[in-house]
């Protein structure tokens, strides 16, 4: 059995590496993601500091002096609440209300500390008293928050399309029919496909992670092994989704439609790009049945909060359980022709 | 000799169409059995039922007295009518991959040699010719040293030279003791290779036996062939009851002398005259009233 699985595994890998256009796409997509992130999150502009400002109608020399500080970007805002969140996430270094002379800083932010000094210096001999407000808690940057999702998303595309498309193409071409005439069983065939795609995706994931880590500084508070386990389990689960879709279909167009039908909702409802806090309750419930939600959440808990496997056991359980169920369904409804 | 494969009362339906309708026969060990018939007669469906690729709606198939199972998978070699090969894989890699599926396998170098695959064994399977592909598919079907070999229209689409080449290899396989089941719509192929044939039409077997025995049973006459140019239809029809196909008039007669005398008396040129024995093509025409390649 393992000999046969190995034969199919090798054949699929060979095909993958020799299909230059597909390989290029598989490698190019992550590279584009890395470049995109490097560009988006590497600060090239000279304005090193960001201050959210609630402007005052009265002119104040001290205020003008503060606003004339070079290399600080002043963003005029209308209200305090949304800006406080931005300070928490390190998107803004300081919030200053020129009317009440209140200011808010994040005490964990080095930038916040420096801008605070500038503000105090500007008001030093003005006779106006500033009121300092501290923001407590560990602030999370958007990049820290979004990276786990980006890795998971890349994995989702690779798993769904890499498995679904390939099997449907094999069936359409008659490759599966020829295999059926050999002692190869559906379970052996599917296992080989899963293993082949799994190791390729995990290697790609490690490369993407390393690439992003090189260009962008992001938070990793947990264990790399735990993270690897989460991505492996997530990968298997998403591959099994692809298997179920590809189990019977023999038209690439239909497969394409179905794969898109499940990948796009995952793109937006798994909380990759934005948190679903405050979203409609049905949307939050729906997101819980999507494997990508669990991959992303578990990865975030590890990377941001430094969670261990016991803290993310519920996610692992969902991923593992769905993998088994999907694999059994896939093997049961699988058709060679 | 005992039967290696027994087929009894096989029925396969696709919706309203009964593709295989109550088909029974035995294949004796070490023989070459030919399933003949026009396109759509049910040959491919029958062979795929026997290969275990399709499951019959009714009837039984026994291999060495047992239903098709793991032993059959290990001991059967199969060459489909159209097989797509996995892309981006070389000819040799294809053989290596398939050799890993079986417990007992042929030596790959020997197969490459015997089937003249050496010159292109490191080429992508997408870049080989039709004849090369058929040889590779045959080598793949033989990788597990099969006891029974299924060939579904193995020479369709090949040029005459490649076809003869493949026949030679099939004969060789048979000489080594492998049982062969072959479908074809080339009568010549069946006559060249098969010990026994079954002619199918509309999903049924309409004649079954050794080619020469079948011919002897149905015919005791010969065919005189004249070029259509030399004897147009308006002459040949009423005078000889001739049938016309492939640019020739075919006159069936049990007295050749008499026929030739009559042709001479009508001053018909005999430059293109041929006298031949009745062949499977004639048998098929006789049995079904239609041409085989229609």
Shortest Cα–Cα distance, A201 to chain B (Å): 20
Choose from A165, A170, A183 for mutation: most chain B CBs within 10 A: A183
| Domain limits, chain B | 3-216, 220-277
Mean pLDDT across the stretch B229-241? 76
Whether B83 sits inside 8 A of A19 (CB atoms) is no
Chain A residues touching residue B78 (CB < 8 angstroms): 178, 181
Q: What are A52-93's pLDDT values in tens digits? A: 888 877 777 888 888 888 888 888 887 787 778 777 766 678
Mean pLDDT across the stretch B209-216? 88
Residue B292 has pLDDT above 60, yes or no: no
* Torsional sign, CA B171, B172, B178, B184: negative
Q: Is B235 on the interface with A (CB under 8 A)?
A: no
Shortest Cα–Cα distance, A257 to chain B (Å): 24
Mean pLDDT across the stretch B174-181? 93
Whole-number pLDDT of residue B156: 82
Chain B: residue nearest A5 by CA? B101
Residue A119 has pLDDT above 70, yes or no: yes
Choose from A182, A187, A196, A337 for mutation: most chain B CBs within 10 A: A182
Distance from C-alpha of A106 to C-alpha of A87, rounded to nearest angstrom: 6
Q: Is B277 on the interface with A (CB under 8 A)?
A: no
Whole-number pLDDT of residue B251: 86
Contact A230, A293 (CB under 8 A): no
pLDDT band for position A197 (cuts 50, 70, 90) = very high
Q: Which of A179-193, B171-185, B237-251 has the lowest mean pLDDT?
A: B237-251
Give the residue ranges of DSSP H helices in B150-274: 160-175, 187-193, 211-218, 233-240, 256-265
Give the residue ranges of DSSP H helices in chain B: 43-51, 70-75, 91-99, 108-114, 130-141, 160-175, 187-193, 211-218, 233-240, 256-265, 280-288
Shortest Cα–Cα distance, A6 to chain B (Å): 8
Shortest Cα–Cα distance, A152 to chain B (Å): 29
Distance from C-alpha of B219 to C-alpha of A32, rounded to nearest angstrom: 76
pLDDT band for position B268 (cuts 50, 70, 90) = confident
Task: Using CB atoms, pick whichever of A4, A175, A177 lies closest to residue B100.
Answer: A4
Mean pLDDT across the stretch B177-201? 90
Distance from C-alpha of A319 to C-alpha of B278, rounded to nearest angstrom: 71
Q: Which of A42-46, A51-55, A225-229 has the lowest mean pLDDT?
A: A42-46
Chain B residues touching residue A174 (CB < 8 angstroms): 80, 82-84
Q: For residue B221, give Cα distances in angstroms to A328, B48, B224, B251, B278.
A: 65, 37, 10, 10, 7
| Phi (first) and psi of residue B22, to 5 degrees | 55, 60
Whether B84 sits inside 8 A of A182 (CB atoms) is no
pLDDT band for position B294 (cuts 50, 70, 90) = very low
Q: Is B101 on the interface with A (CB under 8 A)?
A: yes
The set of residues, in sequence order, having a beta carbon less than 8 Å from that of A39 and lying 6+ positions away, is none
Mean pLDDT across the stretch B17-26? 92
pTM, full prediction: 0.75
Q: Is B86 on the interface with A (CB under 8 A)?
A: yes
pLDDT band for position A320 (cuts 50, 70, 90) = very high
Averaged confidence pLDDT in chain A: 84
Averaged confidence pLDDT in chain B: 88
CATH of region B3-216, choose from 3.40.50.740, 3.40.50.300, 3.40.570.10, 3.40.1440.60? 3.40.50.300
Task: Using CB atoms, pick whichever of A7, A14, A170 lies closest to residue B88.
Answer: A14
Distance from C-alpha of B100 to C-alpha of B106, rounded to nearest angstrom: 11
Task: Using CB atoms, pick whichever of A10, A19, A174 lies closest to residue B97.
Answer: A10
Q: What is the distance between the terminal CA atoms of chain A, rounded to a whole angstrom?
A: 22
Choose from B77, B98, B100 for mutation: most chain A CBs within 10 A: B100
Chain B: residue nearest A166 by CA? B86
Query: What's the token pair of residue B32?
Result: 């070459």
**Helix or strand (DSSP H, E) at A94:** strand A94-97
Chain A residues touching residue B96 (CB < 8 angstroms): 7
Mean pLDDT across the stretch A198-203? 93
Distance from C-alpha of A136 to C-alpha of A131, rounded to nearest angstrom: 16
Whole-number pLDDT of residue B230: 79
Whole-number pLDDT of residue B119: 92
Whole-number pLDDT of residue A39: 63
Q: Is B84 on the interface with A (CB under 8 A)?
A: yes
Contact A159, A239 (CB under 8 A): yes
- Residue B77 is classified by DSSP as E
Chain A: residue nearest B144 by CA? A182
Residue A41 has pLDDT above 70, yes or no: no
Q: Is B55 on the interface with A (CB under 8 A)?
A: no
Q: Is B209 on the interface with A (CB under 8 A)?
A: no
Chain B: residue nearest A177 by CA? B53
Q: What are A131-170's pLDDT values in tens digits? A: 888 876 566 777 788 888 888 988 998 999 888 888 998 9
3-state SS assignment for residue A137 = coil
Q: Is B75 on the interface with A (CB under 8 A)?
A: no
């Amino acid at each position: 059995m393992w000999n046969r699985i190995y034969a199919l595994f090798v054949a699929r890998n060979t095909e993958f590496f020799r299909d230059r256009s597909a390989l290029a796409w598989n490698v190019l997509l992550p590279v584009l993601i890395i470049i995109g992130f490097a560009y988006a999150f590497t600060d090239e502009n000279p304005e090193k500091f960001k201050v959210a400002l609630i402007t005052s109608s009265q002119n104040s020399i001290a205020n003008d002096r503060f606003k004339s500080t070079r290399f600080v970007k002043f963003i005029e805002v209308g209200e305090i609440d949304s800006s406080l969140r931005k300070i928490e996430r390190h998107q803004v270094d300081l919030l200053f209300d020129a009317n009440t002379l209140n200011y808010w800083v994040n005490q964990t932010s080095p930038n916040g500390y420096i801008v605070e000094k500038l503000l105090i210096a500007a008001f030093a001999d003005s006779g106006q008293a500033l009121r300092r407000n501290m923001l407590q808690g560990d602030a999370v940057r958007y990049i820290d928050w979004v990276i786990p999702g980006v890795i998971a998303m890349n994995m989702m595309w690779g798993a769904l399309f890499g498995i679904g498309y390939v099997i449907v193409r094999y069936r359409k071409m008659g490759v599966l029919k020829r295999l059926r005439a050999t002692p190869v069983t559906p379970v052996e065939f599917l296992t080989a496909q899963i293993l082949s795609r799994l190791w390729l995706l995990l290697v790609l994931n490690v490369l993407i992670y390393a690439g992003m880590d090189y260009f962008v500084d992001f938070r990793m508070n947990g264990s790399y092994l735990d993270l690897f386990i989460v991505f492996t389990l997530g990968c298997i689960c998403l591959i099994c989704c692809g298997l179920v879709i590809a189990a019977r279909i023999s038209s690439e167009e239909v497969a394409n439609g179905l794969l898109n039908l499940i990948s796009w909702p995952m793109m937006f409802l798994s909380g990759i790009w934005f948190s679903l806090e405050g979203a409609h309750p049905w949307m939050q419930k729906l997101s819980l049945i999507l494997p990508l939600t669990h991959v992303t959440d578990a990865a975030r808990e590890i990377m941001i909060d430094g969670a261990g496997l016991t803290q993310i056991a519920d996610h692992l359980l969902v991923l593992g359980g769905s993998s088994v169920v999907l694999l059994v369904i896939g093997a049961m409804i699988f058709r060679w022709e | 000799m005992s039967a290696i494969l027994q087929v009894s009362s096989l029925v396969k339906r696709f919706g309203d169409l009964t593709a295989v309708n109550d088909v029974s026969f035995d294949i004796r060990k070490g023989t070459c059995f030919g399933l003949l018939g026009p396109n759509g007669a049910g040959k491919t469906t029958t062979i795929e039922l026997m290969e275990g690729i399709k499951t019959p709606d009714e009837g039984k198939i026994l291999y060495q007295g047992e239903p098709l199972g793991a032993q059959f998978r290990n001991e059967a070699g199969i060459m489909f009518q159209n097989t797509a090969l996995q892309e981006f894989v070389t000819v040799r890699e294809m053989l290596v991959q398939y050799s890993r599926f079986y417990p007992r396998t042929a030596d790959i170098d020997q197969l490459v040699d015997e089937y003249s695959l050496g010159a292109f064994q490191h080429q992508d399977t997408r870049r080989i010719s039709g004849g090369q592909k058929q040889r590779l598919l045959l080598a793949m079907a033989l990788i597990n040293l099969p006891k029974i070999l299924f060939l579904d229209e193995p020479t369709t689409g090949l040029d005459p030279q490649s076809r003869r080449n493949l026949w030679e290899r099939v004969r060789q396989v048979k000489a080594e003791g492998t049982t062969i089941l072959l479908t074809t719509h080339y009568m010549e192929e069946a006559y060249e290779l098969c010990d026994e044939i079954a002619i199918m039409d509309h999903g049924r077997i309409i004649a079954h036996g050794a080619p020469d025995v079948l011919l002897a049973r149905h015919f005791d006459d010969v065919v005189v062939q004249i070029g259509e140019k030399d004897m147009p239809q308006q002459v040949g029809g009423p005078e000889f009851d001739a049938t016309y196909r492939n640019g020739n008039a075919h006159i069936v007669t049990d007295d050749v002398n008499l026929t030739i005398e009559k042709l001479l008396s009508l001053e018909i040129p005999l430059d293109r005259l041929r006298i031949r024995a009745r062949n499977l093509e004639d048998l098929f025409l006789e049995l079904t009233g239609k041409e085989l390649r229609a």
